[in-house]
Amino acid sequence: MAIDGQSPTRTRAGARQLIAPPKTKRGESSRAVILQAALDLFQERGYEATTMRAIADRAGVSLGGSYHYFPSKEHLVLEFYRHTHELHAQAIKPLLSRERDLAARLRGTVRAVVITCEPFHAVAGSIFSTVANPSSPLNPFGGTARPLRDEVVALYAEVVRGSDARIPSDIAEMLPLTLWLYQMGILYFWIFDRSPGRLRTLEVIDETTDLIVRLVSLANLPVLRGSRKRVLSLMKAIVEGQA
Amino acid sequence: MAIDGQSPTRTRAGARQLIAPPKTKRGESSRAVILQAALDLFQERGYEATTMRAIADRAGVSLGGSYHYFPSKEHLVLEFYRHTHELHAQAIKPLLSRERDLAARLRGTVRAVVITCEPFHAVAGSIFSTVANPSSPLNPFGGTARPLRDEVVALYAEVVRGSDARIPSDIAEMLPLTLWLYQMGILYFWIFDRSPGRLRTLEVIDETTDLIVRLVSLANLPVLRGSRKRVLSLMKAIVEGQA
DNA sequence: GCTCGAACTTGAACATGTTCAAGTTAATAA
DNA sequence: TTATTAACTTGAACATGTTCAAGTTCGAGC
């Protein structure tokens, strides 16, 4: 028995290991068919109820097959996550090119998140918890999922940049990351939301986006100057320490 | 193959089932010895690296033994969580009876959280992710862990109540829950903190507790009245909808 | 002291994520 | 055409959390 704090058979080894993309036509098609099977099954049954054996079955490959292309089951979820991000980005394109009001842009963007994710609502809980795990490759503060997180943050940067709101530069710098974090909070709320049509979440989104925009505009008040400076420099320190 | 979104062998059944407390001396001692073994092992090796077989071994019972007293491995963590809560409550007793300044009470309380949890820092990540899982019995928004969460919220109510700060009643009502949520955020930051002596977390605590107290005192400003009302009624609606 | 049954204990069996040594395929070089 | 070899595929084997039918213990009631 190992006493060194590591299990003798640490099953997470593969999770850190990079896997080269397919090198042949056959490989490409195998990867695609496995991924599609996984995406479908996650949506049909949820994360935990989807077994690697079921994925292999539906993809028409053998059990070990997926592991040639994806280091772990979690990595398959990462692709799932990327997929919904692309749906979301696509969905808000018209809004972002038409609307200039910051509150409306923000509201529309966050509403689009939960609307895009609605088909996966039943599944979302277990995925979220995997995402929250600091040692998971899906953790947005960690390594593997970092690029995807940066894409989402960039999307919120675009929400802010394309608006006609005049925002002090120190706030504008931190706002996208803050909004991403805020979106995570909304998603967590949405997971617990059992109201019909997820109306409660939509209400909370409307109310909070409005509040955020109002708070940003209030931040210039003399009484708030001090706190604002402190908040922003704290956030900056945290972000920099993280990188 | 089941297509109904439930795995044919749902292994979470036991997790919801209540288990009666031991009825005999032998049962009591078995439960205690299993729990102690689990607590020790979690601390030594972490959550994932601790196997049910190892717990059974150290406790001197057979593999299935634990399942007579704890419905799942996660329920053993719940006890672990309760244990640290008790350590924490004990640790801040002197502070709460001596100090009256709100900022100092809050700072001391939150500092005590991370100091109490320090021995489990390496383990905390996997535990946190279990806690975040909406379908886990450990989830504080869910069922089983609710009483424990209420205890922690009550502790923050005491932090506020025992201070000499004069806080508007509508804020005072929501503050304990907010502070509990804030503490969760700090813990999540702390999990990622690799600075020596966890100094960065302590700095963030000092800065943020100060900011919170300052914000509370600013909330009476006329310009902030509107936002404050909206924030508080939103929070109230959320809390009530949750229950 | 004896019996009965609830409380407790056991460990084989199961489903699952992951590993890996061995096998198969097919594109390129000769 | 044939040989070479990297890419790809396979499925048995492993460790693990959990279940459960079958056994054991021991105190209450006679």
| Residue B243 touches partner A, C-beta closer than 8 Å | no
Nearest-10 Cα torsion for B192, B194, B199, B203 = -30
> pLDDT for B23-76, tens place per residue?
888 889 999 999 999 999 998 998 889 999 999 999 999 999 999 999 999 999
Instruction: Report, as an integer, the average pLDDT of A150-157.
Output: 96
Q: Is the CB of B242 under 7 A from strand C?
A: no
How many residues are there in chain B? 243
User: CA distances (Å), A69 to each of A46, A50, A145, A196, B174, in order?
Assistant: 21, 18, 17, 39, 49
Element (H, E) at B1: none
User: Percent of chain B beyond pLDDT 90?
Assistant: 64
Q: Which nucleotides of D are covered by protein (CB under 7 A)?
A: 6-21, 25-27
A102: number of Cβ within 10 Å = 22
Q: Mutating which of B47, B52, B130, B135 best tests the A interface, going by the most A Cβ atoms within 10 A?
A: B135
Backbone angles phi, psi at A234, to 5 degrees: -65, -45
| Residue A9 touches partner B, C-beta closer than 8 Å | no
What residues contact residue A9 under an 8 Å CB cut-off, 6+ apart?
Answer: none
Q: What is the pLDDT at residue B1?
A: 27
Are residues B200 and A241, on separate chains, in Cβ contact within 8 Å?
yes
Are residues A129 and B130, on separate chains, in Cβ contact within 8 Å?
yes
Q: Is B137's pLDDT higher than 90?
A: no
A135 — pLDDT class (breaks 50, 70, 90): confident
Q: What is the pLDDT at residue B219?
A: 87
Are residues B227 and A204, on separate chains, in Cβ contact within 8 Å?
no
DSSP state at residue A7: -
DSSP state at residue B33: H
Residue type, position B99, single letter: E
Angle of helix B52-59 relative to helix B25-45, nearest 10 degrees, comes to 130
Q: Measure the CA–CA gap between A125 and B132, rounded to whole angstroms.
A: 9
Nucleotide nearest to B28 (CA to C1'): C8
DSSP state at residue A220: T
Comparing B218 with B178, the larger pLDDT belongs to B178
Are residues B223 and A227, on separate chains, in Cβ contact within 8 Å?
no
Instruction: Report, as an integer, the average pLDDT of A161-180.
Output: 94
Q: Mutating which of B131, B141, B182, B192 best tests the A interface, going by the most A Cβ atoms within 10 A?
A: B192
| Residue B232 touches partner A, C-beta closer than 8 Å | no
Angle of helix A52-59 relative to helix A25-45, nearest 10 degrees, comes to 130
Nucleotide nearest to A53 (CA to C1'): C16
**Do residues B92 and B82 touch, judged by C-beta distance below 8 A?**
no
Instruction: Report, as an integer, the average pLDDT of A206-222.
Output: 92
Q: How far is the CA of B62 from the C1' of C12 (A)?
A: 12
Q: Is B140's pLDDT higher than 80?
A: yes
Sign (positive or negative) of CA dihedral B198, B202, B205, B207: negative
What residues contact residue B86 under an 8 Å CB cut-off, 6+ apart?
Answer: none
Q: Which residues of B touch A48 (CB under 8 A)?
A: 7
A222 — pLDDT class (breaks 50, 70, 90): confident
> pLDDT for B216-238, tens place per residue?
998 888 888 888 999 999 999 98
How high does pLDDT run on average in chain A?
88
**Which region among A37-41, A90-94, B93-97, B225-229 has the lowest average model confidence (pLDDT)?**
B225-229
**Do residues B216 and B166 touch, judged by C-beta distance below 8 A?**
no
Are residues B129 and A128, on separate chains, in Cβ contact within 8 Å?
no
Q: What is the pLDDT at residue B6?
A: 30
Q: How far is the CA of A159 from the C1' of C7 (A)?
A: 63
Q: Is the CB of B189 under 7 A from strand C?
A: no
Q: Measure the CA–CA gap between A65 and A178, rounded to whole angstroms.
A: 40
Are residues A242 and B3, on separate chains, in Cβ contact within 8 Å?
no
Q: Measure the CA–CA gap between A117 and A115, rounded to whole angstroms.
A: 5
Q: What is the pLDDT at residue A243?
A: 66
Instruction: Report, as an integer, the average pLDDT of B185-214.
Output: 95
Output the six-digit token pair for A151. Answer: 């894409």
Q: Is A10's pLDDT higher than 50?
A: no
Output the six-digit token pair for B96. Answer: 């709460």
Backbone angles phi, psi at A238, to 5 degrees: -65, -50
Output the six-digit token pair for B199. Answer: 């100094």
Exposed e or buried b for every residue in A42-55, given b needs 16+ CB within 10 A?
bbbbbbbbbbbebb
| Residue B1 touches partner A, C-beta closer than 8 Å | yes
Q: How far is the CA of B83 from the C1' of D21 (A)?
A: 35
**From residues 11-70 of A, which are strand C contacts by CB within 7 A?**
11, 13-15, 24-26, 48, 50-53, 63-64, 67
Q: What is the pLDDT at residue B10?
A: 35
Output the six-digit token pair for B211. Answer: 């900011």
Element (H, E) at B22: none
Q: Is A143's pLDDT higher than 90?
A: no
> pLDDT for A79-134, tens place per residue?
888 999 999 999 999 999 999 999 999 999 999 999 999 988 888 887 888 788 88
Q: What is the pLDDT at residue B17?
A: 56
Residue type, position A196, single letter: P
Residue type, position A119, single letter: P
Q: Is the CB of A32 under 7 A from strand D?
A: no
Q: Is A5's pLDDT higher than 50?
A: no
Are residues B136 and A122, on separate chains, in Cβ contact within 8 Å?
no
Instruction: Report, as an integer, the average pLDDT of B69-89.
Output: 93
Query: Which residues 93-122 of chain A have a CB within 8 Å of chain B?
Result: 122
Instruction: Report, as an integer, the average pLDDT of B69-87.
Output: 92
Q: Is B8's pLDDT higher than 80?
A: no
Q: Mutating which of B47, B136, B181, B207 best tests the A interface, going by the most A Cβ atoms within 10 A?
A: B207
**Do residues A78 and A54 touch, judged by C-beta distance below 8 A?**
no
